[in-house]
Structures are given as structure tokens and as C-alpha cells.
Chains A and B, each alone.
Chain A
Amino acid sequence: AQSVSQHNHHVILSEAASLELGCNYSYGGTVNLFWYVQYPGQHLQLLLKYFSGDPLVKGIKGFEAEFIKSKFSFNLRKPSVQWSDTAEYFCAVNAPGGGNKLTFGTGTQLKVEL
């Protein structure tokens, strides 16, 4: 069974600091990769996704992620965070076929301080 690891459970940054959240998955075949964000009191929203092609994907709100197949990683980055980026971030993986089920990481709670 595939699994997803998010190593940073809680991250606190000051505004304008750079962000990198780690995500590693365990599945040897072709995967689709996602980052979702959950702002306080809001529903889960898609930040970005990787299916194929350029391993550097850009998402909404200035976020990007790089798929490194050899490292089974899909780390999320943002050069300069804002207070409004305070949220919980989830990495997710699915193996095509088999119901397109998503396997989620445990999430990273990001707090951005003014």
C-alpha cells in the first residue's frame, strides 16, 4: 500500500520568510501528486497538482512544487509567505486506476506571524 510522509507537523514563520514543506511517498509506479490547503474554517482546496511533464509545477497564490522521482518527493515551496498563508497543508498521492483513491499525509500546520 502506498503511504505519504510529511515530516514537518508544525511550522512557524515570519512574514516574507521562504517556505519549504517536505512530502515523500512510497510507491514505485506512476503516481499523481497533489498539495491541498485547508484555511481555518474553510474546505480543502487544491493548491497544485502533478500528473506528468515538467516536474516543477506552479499553483495558486505563488506556491510551487517540485517532483523528484528519484527521491520519491514532492516538496512544496513559496519564496515569501504572507500572514494569509496560515493554514494546514496536505500532500496527497494517488496511483492511477483503482478508484483514484487519494492517500494523504498527516498534514503540516503552518503559522505565519506578522
Chain B
Amino acid sequence: DGGITQSPKYLFRKEGQNVTLSCEQNLNHDAMYWYRQDPGQGLRLIYYSQIVNDFQKGDIAEGYSVSREKKESFPLTVTSAQKNPTAFYLCASMGTGYSNQPQHFGDGTRLSIL
């Protein structure tokens, strides 16, 4: 079945450490997104990419970095500059070859600070 795979499901970060969250999709979608979910704040957009080798900052990009070297992969790195990284991170993708499509979401990665 096609879908979005996020790994790991749980991740722990030490102070000063960078960690990378994986997001892979086999839906052949062009666009991919990273959101951060905090209790009572909904989902906020971190970064998004509409095509390979191109990405844009979302509303809360500071302390994060991404790459889009392959269509199916959009890893997110939480850097040591992100002072409050504890959150639930959701990856999404969307087809852009035709109009009016919703975003599909992965199961998420829960990041905590040790």
C-alpha cells in the first residue's frame, strides 16, 4: 500500500545534539511538508518542498534544516539551535500534478529531550 513512513516513532535528543527525522513516501507525490504539533497549538509548518532540490521555510523554520535530494525523501534535522524541540513532528505529502488534492500524513515522530 502507498503511504508515508516516518521514523523513528520516538526519538530522544541530548543537549547540543542534532537529530534527523526520516520521512519517506511512495505515493509519487511532488510536494512534501514538515509540521510540528504542540498541545493546544495545532500544527505549525516548519518547511516544505514542492520539487526535488528545492524547499522553502514555513512559519517556524528557525533551528531546523531539511534536504530534498530525492522525490520520495524529505528528512528534517532538528539542530542544537532549536531550544524547545520537544514536540510531535508530522510529515505530509501531496500530489501536485492535478488540482484539489489533500495532504496525506505520516504517523509522526515524538521527540523528547534527555
Contact = CB atoms under 8 A, between A and B. Distances in A.
B108 A104 contact: no
Contacts, number: 56
A72 to B, nearest CB: 18
Interface string B35-54: 10000111111001010000
Q: Which of the four size classes fits the interface of chain A?
A: 20 to 34
B40 A106 contact: yes
B4 to A, nearest CB: 8
Nearest to A52: B100
B42 A100 contact: no
A2 B104 CA distance: 21
A43 B103 CA distance: 12
B42 A9 contact: no
Given A34-B102, A44-B90, A49-B102, A102 B45 contact: yes
A104 B99 CA distance: 20
Nearest 7 A/B pairs, CB to CB: A44-B105, A104-B42, A106-B42, A104-B43, A51-B100, A43-B107, A46-B102
Interface of A: 4, 6, 9, 32, 34, 36, 42-46, 49, 51-52, 90, 92, 96, 99-107
Given A36-B105, A43-B90, A100-B31, 6 more contacts: A34-B102, A101-B33, A101-B48, A102-B45, A102-B92, A104-B43
